[in-house]
């Protein structure tokens, strides 16, 4: 009986398992297939303090995970500086290409809302607000056009 409860607990924990895609083209394919917008995040995961705060307070919140699972395809373009966190050359090239297209100013963090075809709907960065307020902000950006 205990193992049955443990299994149910594990299943409920993974119900809203958020998935961050690191391949933009796969993200676009999923967005088209699921008819969802894309949340593209430019992050410096090991050097950018606001990026780390955004990850800890917003992206890791259960509220955001639940909302994202229903509404968005999540894509992260990370630009770590520490050797221990280095990316493959292919991933670096892909992230640089995304930055040339969607983050020419080099802002970190930058959160870009795209439609399923890759058209920019809006963008924002780190805000010291609750997950609820951040989710509302993202939805507002989606509706601007």
Domain ranges of the chain: 18-142
Residue 2: C-alpha distances to residues 6, 10, 32 (Å): 6, 12, 42
Give the sign of the dihedral formed by CA 60, CA 61, CA 62, CA 67: negative
The share of the chain scoring above pLDDT 90, in percent, equals 86
For the stretch 85-99, pLDDT in tens is 999 999 999 999 999
The residue whose two tokens read 């805000």 is 127
CA distance 22 to 110: 15
Q: Report the pLDDT averaged over residues 39-62.
A: 98
Query: Does domain 18-142 match CATH 3.40.30.10?
Result: yes
Q: Is the pLDDT of residue 64 over 50?
A: yes
CA distance 136 to 106: 25
110-114, strands of its sheet edge to edge: 20-21, 72-78, 37-43, 110-114, 120-124
Beta bridge partners of 74: 20, 39
Report pTM.
0.87
């Amino acid at each position: 009986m205990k193992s049955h409860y443990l299994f149910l607990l594990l299943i409920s924990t993974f119900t809203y398992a958020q998935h961050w895609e690191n391949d933009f083209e796969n993200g676009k394919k999923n967005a088209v297939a699921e008819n969802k917008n894309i949340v593209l995040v430019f992050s410096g995961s090991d050097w950018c303090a606001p990026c780390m705060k955004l990850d800890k307070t917003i992206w890791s919140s259960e509220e955001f995970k639940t909302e994202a699972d229903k509404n968005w395809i999540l894509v992260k373009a990370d630009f770590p500086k520490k050797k221990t966190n280095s990316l493959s050359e292919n991933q670096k090239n892909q992230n640089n290409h995304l930055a040339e297209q969607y983050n020419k100013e080099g802002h970190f963090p930058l959160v870009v809302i795209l439609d399923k075809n890759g058209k920019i709907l809006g963008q924002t960065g780190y805000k010291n607000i609750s997950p609820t307020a951040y989710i509302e902000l993202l939805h507002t950006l989606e509706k601007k056009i």
